[in-house]
Amino acid sequence: MIARPLEGQVAAVTGASRGIGRAIALELALKGAFVAINFRQNEAEAQAALAELCAAGGQGKLFQADVSRADQVDAWFKSLYASNGRVDVLVNNAGVTRDSALMTMTAKDWHTVIDTDLNSAFYCAKAVTRRMCGAKRGLIVNIGSGSAFSPRISQVNYSSAKSGLIGFTRSLARELAPFGVRVNIVAPGFTSTEMSESLSQSVVADSLAKIPMNRWGTAQEIATFISFLASPDARFITGQTLIVDGGRYALEQDYGVN
State residue 257's pLDDT score: 47
- Burial class from Cβ neighbours inside 10 Å (0-12, 13-18, 19+) for residue 22 reads buried
Residue 74: is its pLDDT beyond 50? yes
Tens of pLDDT, residue by residue over 218-246, are: 999 999 999 999 999 999 999 999 999 88
Q: What is the DSSP code string of the chain?
A: ----TTTT-EEEETT-SSHHHHHHHHHHHHTT-EEEEEESS-HHHHHHHHHHHHHTT-EEEEEE--TTSHHHHHHHHHHHHHHHS---EEEE---------TTT--HHHHHHHHIIIIIHHHHHHHHHHHHHHHHT-EEEEEE--GGGTSPPTT-HHHHHHHHHHHHHHHHHHHHHGGGTEEEEEEEE-SEE-TGGGGS-HHHHHHHHTT-TTSS-EEHHHHHHHHHHHHSGGGTT--S-EEEESTTHHHHHHHH---
Mean pLDDT of the chain: 92
> Is the Cα torsion angle 142, 147, 148, 153 positive or negative in sign?
negative
> Is the Cα torsion angle 154, 158, 164, 166 positive or negative in sign?
negative
How many Cβ atoms from other residues are within 10 Å of residue 56's Cβ? Answer: 11
Enumerate the domain spans of the chain: 10-255
Chain CA centroid to CA 227, Å = 12
Q: Quick one: pLDDT band at residue 216, thresholds 50, 70, 90?
A: confident
Identify whether 81 is a catalytic site residue.
no
Is the whole model's pTM more than 0.85, yes or no? Answer: yes
- Burial class from Cβ neighbours inside 10 Å (0-12, 13-18, 19+) for residue 205 reads exposed
Residue 195: is its pLDDT beyond 70? no
Residue 251: is its pLDDT beyond 90? no
Q: How much of the chain exceeds pLDDT 70, in percent?
A: 94
Residue 192: is its pLDDT beyond 90? no
Mean pLDDT of 60-77: 98
Residue 215: is its pLDDT beyond 50? yes
Catalytic residue among 81, 123, 158, 255: 158
Tens of pLDDT, residue by residue over 167-188, are: 999 999 999 999 999 999 999 9
Q: Quick one: pLDDT band at residue 199, thresholds 50, 70, 90?
A: low
Residue 140: is its pLDDT beyond 50? yes
State residue 49's pLDDT score: 97
* Assigned architecture for domain 10-255: 3-Layer(aba) Sandwich (3.40)
Contact 196, 216 (CB under 8 A): yes
